[in-house]
Copies of this chain bind each other. A is one copy, B any other.
């Protein structure tokens, strides 16, 4: 477990090796809502907590043995001043994440669970191999039972 809900989040993590998930635990309903998966070359954190300096509401958890690099927000900010183009690099990274989130919001508005599942395996074929179906269901916002039925209907 890299980040646990309630933690103060001062770091973000670069994934050298492995696969992680970021999710909101909901103890009351005994459920979890997966915000994203992350694999090699991606960055992960609870970015709400990281950007707003508030306690984490999300857990970040390794789904496999992982090698991670971490950087303190403070250190990154002072690096921005020293390394030319670094801030632009992170701006670009954030733009990409923003675009991905907006697409996901649209896909939730427009598409059925089946279409979103098709889109998921089209867009993240390697991730689909590496994570459990019930985790994909959680990412898509449906139950494992529903995903199972969708998968059956597809064959």
Whether A112 is near chain B, meaning CB under 8 Å from some CB there, is no
Which chain B positions have C-beta within 8 A of A26?
A: 110
Q: Which 7 A-B pairs have the closest CB atoms?
A: A101-B101, A33-B109, A51-B95, A109-B141, A108-B108, A48-B99, A94-B94
Q: What is the total number of copies of this protein in its complex?
A: 2
Residue A98 interfacial (CB < 8 Å):
yes
Q: Nearest chain-B residue to A98 (Cβ)?
A: B98
Minimum CB–CB distance from A33 to chain B (whole Å) comes to 4
Using a CB-CB cutoff of 8 Å, which residues 67-110 of chain A contact chain B? 80, 87-88, 90-91, 94-99, 101-106, 108-110
Is A127 close to B, CB under 8 A?
no
